[in-house]
Structure 1
């Protein structure tokens, strides 16, 4: 009889345990049902169908824009400015006077030598008549003739000095900025302005390494400005330096570019894309489609799973050359497969995938 209280206690504990287990079972089942009421996690991405296309490996180098006609206007002689014939950043015509320096002293010397030339010319004329009548010697005539020639040479030297003090535009174009004023003194070889000719066409000068030595005249190039890299302009090679630089071991090349909209200014830096191999047929994907980790490059191939849902499958690929937008796939993919592009960084192996449409707003 003494065991009855213990039996009753054990029975009570058992009933309590069963009751608590039932309550917990009910709660877990409710939680599972609640969780199953949510949809399976998924990600929305853009995709592209794998196709082959022509690819030409290219080299990107930095180039400099240069005017086809450009000149630094400098004065050969020193002097005081008497006239400035152009405005800062203005246009000038061929043979237009750009700058005049004071030439009063030279002009006075020229007037004096011209007077001496006139007198020497009269002396020569008189002696010529006297020699004909044998009233004077031939030696005197030769001496006067030589003196006249010397004076004429001196006159031409003074005229050349006067001409050097007047700077003339050798061609039509645009001038740079200046701070010249009448009355200012200019030392010899002072930079007056830079004269730039017509910019409807410009030169692109750049250097290439040994890998691009096979380039030839008329090879087509693509030029883009640093500010607008997506906009490509067509140019062609017009000159190749016959000598390789002994310092950089690079070869200088010049291309010509139509610049009718005056987008490229002399001195600007541009990107030059030049072909270094023949076009080949390859699989090419956007750069956003290829991911990288410690094991190498991979992509997410989108395919219908057994449950008829579109799912992502991670696949390792071998990559080759690339540019700023595309990358060449050497192996790992076949034509007509669907590969995730924009938004692929959100995917994992086996995840449910929704394809973005043109109406989807916001970043993926």
Structure 2
């Protein structure tokens, strides 16, 4: 049969199309094989079972350290500063000499008062003898009753003059003593407000300040709801027996243990808070008045809670989540509601159960939810818990209610 010349180009085109399709299929199959050969292995991670145990709940507040005793040192007498007898910023003991006001005018005033007292005593002695003589003469009818009464009145008057002179001596002696300004209690002194040669006005000029250092107060302001909860719990015990923990800004945890001193008698309507005060011993004088402090205040009741290692918690904008081990050894993202820290472990208020295993190590190898993982079961890390327990002797738990 004769060939159609017009059909030859069509056949050639079909052959080329078939060859091209075959080549594309071969390349695609090779690519799939290469991709399958380069698939990443499951990420090696450590997982730990969620803990569930009783804890002592603590609430955290911001506070300030304050001195139990604080005084502005003022001179009780006027005069020029003659001597500064303390080290500025140093510690002083009760009764230590701080300032000396020029004592010479007050020593002269004391000498003058003593001289007046001696004169009054001499006059009183003479008046007493005259009164005794008058009594003898009156019995012998040698003088009139009027003269005898005048002698007795003179004796009484001179005796009163002696009492007044004795009071003047005591006042002058006090003024001389007040020329030496001494510390009213043990503590730390501030700087000297006046230098030598300046005039100090009695009861007006502040010479320095002294604050006590042990014990100290820590003042904080619980909110109204927290206060009402404490008030309800206090029916089961004494309010001032509740423990308080304090930590400074450069300290880990809350190493200083104290007790509640008092709650104020009214809620501040402007802030919805009530003033509270704790008292702590500070034998090393580290708790300087005025320092900012983190305060933990414990309720009376303990409760059970879910706990995980805090390093397992991840943050996506305002959302907190963890990766848990899902069926098929895959990393499942689970959003959680965070509670306080308790002995270094994070309290989980919602999102987990005791059946869940949380990824606590190897999170940097989990790139997306549902990623395959190779889990190794470990115990929930309690290193931080043990460290926190040893940092506060006698304490039962640590929590930060504001660490959400």
Aligned position for 1:192: 207
User: Which of the numbers 263, 267, 275 marks the counterpart of 1:252?
Assistant: 275
Aligned position for 2:372: 352
Q: How far did residue 59 of structure 1 move? A: 1.9
Q: 1:60 touches 1:273 (CA, 8 Å); kept in 2?
A: yes
Aligned position for 2:400: none
Aligned position for 2:141: none
Q: 1:235 touches 1:256 (CA, 8 Å); kept in 2?
A: no
Aligned position for 2:67: 67
Instruction: Find the residue that maps to 1:148 and give its secondary structure.
Output: helix
Q: Distance in 1 between matches of 2:110 and 2:285?
A: 47
- Gapped regions of structure 1 (runs ≥ 5): 359-364
Matches for 1:203-242 after TM superposition, within 5 Å: 203-210=217-224, 211-212=226-227, 213-214=230-231, 216-228=239-251, 230-241=252-263
User: Which of the numbers 121, 134, 139 marks the counterpart of 2:153?
Assistant: 139
Q: 1:264 and 1:356, CA in 2 relative to 1: closer, same or farther beyond 3 A?
A: farther
Q: How far did residue 44 of structure 1 move? A: 5.3
User: Which of the numbers 275, 287, 305 marks the counterpart of 1:282?
Assistant: 305
Q: 1:171 touches 1:197 (CA, 8 Å); kept in 2?
A: yes
Q: 2:47 touches 2:377 (CA, 8 Å); kept in 1?
A: no
Q: Distance in 1 between matches of 2:73 and 2:318?
A: 62
Q: 1:51 touches 1:336 (CA, 8 Å); kept in 2?
A: no
Q: Distance in 1 between matches of 2:333 and 2:278?
A: 45
Deviations 1:103-148 (A, max 9, x none): 3223222222221221121111112112111176112222222222
Q: Distance in 1 between matches of 2:213 and 2:347?
A: 42
Q: 1:297 and 1:244, CA in 2 relative to 1: closer, same or farther beyond 3 A?
A: same
Q: 1:44 touches 1:355 (CA, 8 Å); kept in 2?
A: yes
- Gapped regions of structure 2 (runs ≥ 5): 138-147, 379-404
Which one is further off, 329-338 or 81-90? Answer: 329-338
Q: How far did residue 344 of structure 1 move? A: 4.8
Instruction: Find the residue that maps to 1:33 and give its secondary structure.
Output: helix
Matches for 1:113-124 after TM superposition, within 5 Å: 113-124=113-124
Q: Distance in 1 between matches of 2:273 and 2:28?
A: 74
Aligned position for 2:390: none
Q: How far did residue 256 of structure 1 move? A: 2.9
Q: Distance in 1 between matches of 2:46 and 2:341?
A: 21
Aligned position for 1:96: 96
Which one is further off, 337-346 or 12-21? Answer: 337-346
Q: How far did residue 99 of structure 1 move? A: 0.8
Matched, 1:312 2:338: no
Deviations 1:55-80 (A, max 9, x none): 34332111222334443322233321
Which one is further off, 56-65 or 37-46? Answer: 37-46
Matched, 1:263 2:286: yes
Instruction: Find the residue that maps to 2:301 and give its secondary structure.
Output: coil
Q: How far did residue 347 of structure 1 move? A: 4.6
TM-score normalised per structure 1: 0.82
Q: How far did residue 336 of structure 1 move? A: 4.6
Q: Distance in 1 between matches of 2:291 and 2:327?
A: 52
Q: Distance in 2 between matches of 1:128 and 1:107?
A: 31
Name the count of aligned residue pairs.
351
Deviations 1:143-170 (A, max 9, x none): 2222222222223222233333221122
Aligned position for 1:361: none
Q: 1:175 and 1:284, CA in 2 relative to 1: closer, same or farther beyond 3 A?
A: same
Deviations 1:285-333 (A, max 9, x none): 344545577997654321451xxxx31133465x363348655445554
Q: How far did residue 355 of structure 1 move? A: 5.1
Q: 1:288 touches 1:344 (CA, 8 Å); kept in 2?
A: no
Instruction: Find the residue that maps to 2:288 and give its secondary structure.
Output: coil
Q: 1:55 touches 1:280 (CA, 8 Å); kept in 2?
A: yes
Q: Distance in 2 between matches of 1:295 and 1:251?
A: 30
Deviations 1:217-236 (A, max 9, x none): 121122211222x3222523
Instruction: Find the residue that maps to 1:129 and give its secondary structure.
Output: helix
